[in-house]
Structure 1
Amino acid sequence: MDLLLILTYGAFCVFIFKVFKIPLNKWTVPTAVLGGVVLIASLLLIMNYNHPYSRFGREYFVTIPITPAVRGLVISVDVLPNTPVKEGDVLFRIDPTPFQAVVDRKKAALIAAKQDVPQLGATWEAAKANVARATADRDRTKSAYSRYEQGHRKGGANSPFTDLELDNRRQMYLSSEAQLTAAQADELKARLAYESNVDGVNTQVVALEADLASAMYDLEHTIVRAPADGMVTQMALRPGTMAVPMPLRPVMTFIPDEERYFAGAFWQNSILRLKVGDEAEVVLDAAPGQVFSGKVAKILPAMAEGEIQTNGTLLSATQLYQSGRVIVIIDIDDDAIRKQFPAGVQGQVAVYSEHFHHISVMRKVLLRMKGWLNYLFFDGH
């Protein structure tokens, strides 16, 4: 843009010298050159300070890496590249056979567990009956032992019960007491198994229901669907590919149909005058002669050149040599860029502050001249 201004001034001087037939001598030429230096330098300082320009501008957009939730063999690719799709449309399918087998196995285990619940109740009832029987046996043997023990004590030497008979009755009583203890333990075990519930549902059933839900989740995700409205581009996925759920190895890239951002990289001293809401204009390398108007939407509060993260590497002094630029987000007034051009087009951007607003006309002219040059120089830089 500086070169454009110099060439314009040069053409103006040639025109003046030719029209007014001013002679070229040691007074006129130095005067024109010195006047040009002062004029152009003053204009550049005023424009760069109040109406900054950046030749580094680009439209940015967000992409979604599509990574399958399960590992499997791709059997079909249903989406066409560069074709709009709706949220929920099928992108590709993974062979569901092994996942369906897991679901069937979990369903069978769940049905068996549900059938086991009544059996646990029956087992508990049987255990309670065993406790009642053991209690009755214990009471009977205890009564017999007490009768033998009292008769032996009262009869003394004339007792009708011998010591051996008394000892046998005592052992029978202790055996029935032990059987009662064992029956009570079995009853407690059966009761705990039957009453082991989560919100009124048997814990084994709950665990198998969770396993089944996990298996059905895996089966459902053998069909990979579009996360939003948008499209897939540069797609290389083909049937027969082994899809692996690795975050760093997506199988395709999805571009959601949402707002894009045009960003310009300005010198750091340009933010002295920049503020949100300032008028802005953008020219694209892909659209020679067209100017897109907008406003400053945001001045990003951080620059990547100053970023540090916790790691085991010391900060190198060479990183301090990088000057960096301030990134400014431009909100284009209409949707023309998005409709007419591919995402990620580059261009140049100028911002016009409220200070020395009459000088902004020159910046606008120079920006349009820069846009016209894109007819010849498609690189734009």
Structure 2
Amino acid sequence: MLVFCTIIFIALLFVLIKINVLPNSSKTWALLVPFEFFLILGFFIPLQWGAPAADVRALAYTVPITPNVAGQVTEVLVEPNVEIQKGQPLFTIDPTQYEAALEGLQAQLALAKTRLKQSEELAKQDAGSIYELQAYQAQVQGLEAQIKNAQWNLDETVVKAPTDGIVTNLALRPGQRVVNAPNYMAMSFTDTSEIILGSQVLQNFSRNIKPGNIVEVTFKAYPGKVYAGEVVHMIPATAQGQFANTGMNITPQSNQAGPFFVKIKLDDEAFQNELIPGSMGTAAIYTENVQMAHVIRKVMIRMDAIMNFVKP
């Protein structure tokens, strides 16, 4: 934009010289120097305070799919890059050992209930021990709890989608053994129920940003278009501000001001939720300060939208 304004000013000087309003001299062309200072100090520096611009990215949560039970995969029930509904089965695990465990506990429970009933009959006739009765009652309750857990394990042999989304890099195949371990992932699931727009704004340009500020966004994938929105909030913490309890003294680190993350919501929520995660663009945030610079930013964001036709 600075180059564009400079070209316009040069063209204006050229016209004024041609119509003899200004002489064609070094003093006339020297007007470029104060003009540049005026643009930089009067508009482009305050522009970053009143209407900062930054890259914007469409983000989606990624859920690592780790099964709750271990076993051999018997069937993979989804295709990669196909929309999946919440609760839809992803893959199944051989249930044989979990069915056997459940059946064994059910058999024990049936016997324990029979013994409990017999003990109750004896207690009514004052022919049995109260301690034996209480022991059978505890045994029945314990087995019922174990059966509940065994049934849950059996149900977990069918692994289901935690929410609406897609599986992109699907490498899981029948016959592969999966385990329930913290660092193991059977597949990576992308949650598409909510697409988040995030922009990283330099710290010295972020001080005037508030929730509700008007935003205009362009996307590389949609050249020539400008979408309206607003600031939801600025994330109140960053990794640089995290104090980790390691049990050691503070380790000196190099200090560098990292950007702050601003969450943005488009007015067209349907379009936002159709964005492919990773979609890149530019966001212009119009604060309540230095409003005279907003016009320049509006021109710049539209120029950026047009340049998206050719600029990678």
**TM > 0.5 fold call:** yes
- TM-score with structure 1 setting the length: 0.75
One-letter amino acid of the counterpart of residue 86, structure 1: Q
**What is aligned with 1:215?**
150
Give the drift of 1:350: 1.0
Q: Contact 1:75–1:95 (CA<8 Å) still a contact in 2?
A: yes
One-letter amino acid of the counterpart of residue 296, structure 1: V
Change (3 A) 1:76 1:23: farther
- TM-score with structure 2 setting the length: 0.90
Q: Contact 1:9–1:36 (CA<8 Å) still a contact in 2?
A: no
The question of 1:14 aligning with 2:10 is answered yes
**What is aligned with 1:81?**
80
**What is aligned with 1:117?**
116
Distance 2:231 2:121 in 1: 76
Residue 130 of structure 2 is aligned with which of 172, 178, 191? 191
- Greater share of helix residues, 1 or 2? 1
**What is aligned with 1:332?**
266
Distance 1:8 1:372 in 2: 14
Q: Percent identity, aligned pairs only?
A: 31
Distance 1:353 1:226 in 2: 41
Residue 252 of structure 1 is aligned with which of 176, 187, 191? 187
Q: Contact 2:163–2:193 (CA<8 Å) still a contact in 1?
A: no
Distance 2:298 2:7 in 1: 19
**Which residues of 2 match residues 291-302 of structure 1 at below 5 A?**
291-302=226-237
| Higher Cα Rg, which structure | 1
Change (3 A) 1:260 1:125: closer
Q: How big is each residue's C-alpha offset from its partner over 1:238-292, in whole Å with a ceiling of 9 and x where there is no partner?
A: 1111111123212112223422221111122323321111111111222222211
Aligned pairs, how many? Answer: 307
The question of 1:275 aligning with 2:210 is answered yes
**Which residues of 2 match residues 1-381 of structure 1 at below 5 A?**
5-20=1-16, 21=18, 24-54=24-54, 56-121=55-120, 128=127, 190-196=129-135, 202-319=137-254, 321-334=255-268, 335-339=270-274, 341-378=275-312
Change (3 A) 1:359 1:126: closer
Q: Contact 1:73–1:95 (CA<8 Å) still a contact in 2?
A: yes
Unaligned ranges ≥5, structure 2: none
Give the drift of 1:195: 3.6
Residue 338 of structure 1: SS of its match in structure 2? Answer: helix
Q: Contact 2:192–2:273 (CA<8 Å) still a contact in 1?
A: no
Give the drift of 1:124: 5.8
Q: Contact 1:264–1:329 (CA<8 Å) still a contact in 2?
A: yes
One-letter amino acid of the counterpart of residue 133, structure 2: Y
RMSD, aligned α-carbons: 2.2
Residue 49 of structure 1: SS of its match in structure 2? Answer: helix
Give the drift of 1:74: 0.4
Give the drift of 1:370: 2.0
Q: How big is each residue's C-alpha offset from its partner over 1:59-81, in whole Å with a ceiling of 9 and x where there is no partner?
A: 22212221111000001011122
Distance 1:191 1:296 in 2: 69
Residue 290 of structure 1: SS of its match in structure 2? Answer: strand
- Greater share of strand residues, 1 or 2? 2
Q: How big is each residue's C-alpha offset from its partner over 1:162-188, in whole Å with a ceiling of 9 and x where there is no partner?
A: xxxxxxxxxxxxxxxxxxxxxxxxx6x
Distance 1:38 1:14 in 2: 15
Residue 40 of structure 1: SS of its match in structure 2? Answer: helix
Give the drift of 1:348: 1.5
Give the drift of 1:329: 1.0
